[in-house]
Amino acid sequence: MKIISTENYQEMSIKAGLLLTEKIRSNPAITLGLATGSTPKGIYQFLIKDHQDNHTTYNQVKSVNLDEYIGLAPSNPNSYRYFMQHNLFEHLDIQGSNTYLPNGTVSDLEAECNRYEKLIEGIGGVDLQLLGIGQNGHIGFNEPGTSFNSRTHIITLAENTRLANSRFFNSIDEVPKQAITMGIATILKSTEIFLLASGEAKAEALARLINDGMSEDFPASALKLHENVTIIADKDALKYI
């Protein structure tokens, strides 16, 4: 795993944004795997500004997101579809029909997981996957204990994940208990992976990822099975390295 260390969150966002826009310009029909949460917001702002200033085009780009809460409609401000629309898609020239997320409101959720996994395969897989990391080592919503062989599946969120994400909701009771997430094997099929992390709250997880061996108790450690992973993190997140 290659590590790029930056001074702070802003520099992390710029470094990752520059690498990403280079990839998009050299492969205008790239398929991006995207994440939500606080970590990629600065990168998305970089992409929007670059689109406005330098006219990088997304008209052939496809995107597939890692995950979606079960039970939240796209119109719900806490759904990941809503997050992506407002933080990225509506500011770019990407075609709405080329942006994919699991649908957490269908009645047959198992069928939705299969549909999403096949959809990813059908569009030729992910060229570049962006990942954040949970303090418990989750990638996507693959919580500790998830099989490294998992494909898109339903996950029950860990209580510490619901607590961490309750900052976006009125109370923890409103945080959904389940989500649909790409599996670990799904993520590992991407051609290239950027894992992003910022702040001291992620320092222990990064130390475990970089220094320790592989274990299904720590989902991000599966990334050691992948040959093209770059960690882009600020010095607070890398403080134990």
Q: 50, 51, 65, 67: which is the annotated catalytic residue?
A: 67
For the four alpha carbons of 195, 201, 205 and 207, in that order, the dihedral sign comes to positive
Distance CA 19, CA 23 (A): 6
Taking CB under 6 A as the criterion, the residue among 5, 10, 21, 38 binding ligand F6R is 38
Q: 50, 65, 117, 138: which is the annotated catalytic residue?
A: 138
CA distances from 43 to 130, 155, 158, 233 (A): 10, 27, 27, 12
**C-alpha angle 235/126/80, rounded to 5°?**
70
- The answer to whether residue 217 is catalytic is no
Q: 68, 127, 143, 234: which is the annotated catalytic residue?
A: 143
Distance CA 155, CA 136 (A): 15
Q: Which is nearer to ligand F6R, 32 or 35 (CB)?
A: 35
- The answer to whether residue 138 is catalytic is yes
Examine residue 36 and tell whether it contacts ligand F6R (CB under 6 A).
yes
SS3 215: coil
Q: Which is nearer to ligand F6R, 28 or 171 (CB)?
A: 171
SS3 29: coil
**Residue type (1 letter), 160:** N
Q: Which is nearer to ligand F6R, 50 or 68 (CB)?
A: 68
- The answer to whether residue 27 is catalytic is no
Taking CB under 6 A as the criterion, the residue among 46, 89, 116, 141 binding ligand F6R is 141
Taking CB under 6 A as the criterion, the residue among 30, 72, 94, 139 binding ligand F6R is 139
Examine residue 130 and tell whether it contacts ligand F6R (CB under 6 A).
no
Q: 50, 127, 136, 234: which is the annotated catalytic residue?
A: 136
Q: Residue-wise over 170-194: b if at least 16 C-beta within 10 A, else e?
A: eeeeebbeebbbbbbbbbbbbebbb
Examine residue 10 and tell whether it contacts ligand F6R (CB under 6 A).
no
| Interaction pattern, residues 50-89, with ligand F6R; x per rule: CB under 6 A | ----------------xx----------------------
Distance CA 220, CA 129 (A): 14
Instruction: Please list the active-site residues.
Output: 67, 136, 138, 143
Binding site residues, ligand F6R, CB under 6 A: 35-39, 66-67, 132-134, 138-141
